[in-house]
Structure 1
Amino acid sequence: MDYGDSIDRNLLSMLEENARMTASELARRVGLARSSVQERIERLERRGVILGYRAIVGRREIDQSVSAYIFITTALRATQRLFALLRGYPEISTADAISGPANILCRVNVNFLEDLEALIEELARIEEIESVTYSVVLSNKINRENALIARKAQ
């Protein structure tokens, strides 16, 4: 996808970091008039580069939620059926078809490690799933998923 020139890419980067940044602030940072920035953003929206905006809710200190990646191996013929089943699990925030030893990669958010364990055990009981492995996220250092998540939601 064509993300435009360096000014458009700069605007996209700033909006990914803070989608509520005003057109005036964006204009100041890129050295253009506010109206020019608004026109660029509208053009990026029309072309489908900007698909939407969302709120990211911060976790409270007492929130003990756990994020993990689950790797699922299955026969290729069962992959589409599994994606349909995975949509029914609210703990699964993303599910991607991938190459390598596993066919499916899921990003999961649960309240406790016990919830993750129960989900993995439940997934392992699905007949078409050959194996399930996982990695727990220790901490998030960089997050540029906002645009990707908005794109997948549509």
Structure 2
Amino acid sequence: MDFPDLDRFDQAILKILSGDGRISVADLARRIGLSKSPTQARLRRLEKEGFIAGYRALIDPIRLGLDHVAFVEVRLKDTREKALAEFNAAVRQLGEIEQAHMIASNFDYLLKIRTQSMSQYRAVLAEKISTLPHVASTSTFVAMEAVKETGLQGPL
């Protein structure tokens, strides 16, 4: 895949960082075949231009006891811009919502919810998700196993 703003070194930097965000600049430089200074300059440019949005630790939710995953289809009563903005703002406030995507389908949003148990999920659904602005209905799908959960690694 061709990314017009990224040469092969930039693409290599992004691919390596997507797998190991804590790699040293020296090791990164060695792996992409440049010296440390130009690698560091490229890294700063990729950060400044927004290709690298930030760095964070990947926390294992299972070790925290958050092994119940549900996907929730949400249909809204109102899909005008103001209603969508209100729903989006409210979703961002709920820690149990791990991901939220607006969908082009017969429903409006797909939410990934992570809790400790089915009973905790039921409470989150009843007390939080169902009371979000403009929610008309929800439909839940419980995940039995995560087969693949990774960040962007494919096209680079």
**TM-score, L = length of structure 2:** 0.79
Gaps of 5+ in 1: 147-154
Secondary structure class of the residue paired with 1:76 = coil
Cα RMSD for the two superposed structures: 2.5
Q: 2:151 aligns to what?
A: 144
Q: Could you say if the C-alpha distance between residues 125 and 23 of structure 1 is closer, same or farther in structure 2, counting changes exceeding 3 Å?
A: closer
Residue 101 of structure 2: aligned partner = 96
Paired with 1:17 and 1:91, the residues of 2 have a C-alpha distance of 25
Q: Provide Cα deviations, 1:40-73, integer angstroms capped at 9, x if missing partner.
A: 1011011111121111122465725222322101
Aligned residues: 146
Alpha-carbon contact 2:74-2:109 (below 8 Å) kept: yes
Tell me what 1:128 maps to. Answer: 134
> Residues 105-133 of structure 1: CA distance to partner in whole angstroms, max 9, x if unpaired?
22222111221222223333557322211
Of 70, 79, 82, 2:87 maps to 82
Unaligned runs of 5+ in 2: none
1:132 maps to a residue whose letter is T
Normalised to the residue count of structure 1, the TM-score between the two structures is 0.80
Stretch moving more, 96-105 or 114-123? 114-123
Secondary structure of 2:94's match? coil
1:62 and 1:96 map into 2 onto residues whose CA distance is 24
Residue identity opposite 1:144 in structure 2: G
Could you tell me whether the CA contact under 8 Å between 1:3 and 1:9 is conserved in 2?
no
* Structure 2 counterpart of 1:131, one-letter code: S
CA distance 1:142–1:60, shift in 2 (3 Å): closer
Q: What is the alpha-carbon distance in structure 2 between the residues aligned to residue 3 and residue 71 of structure 1?
A: 36
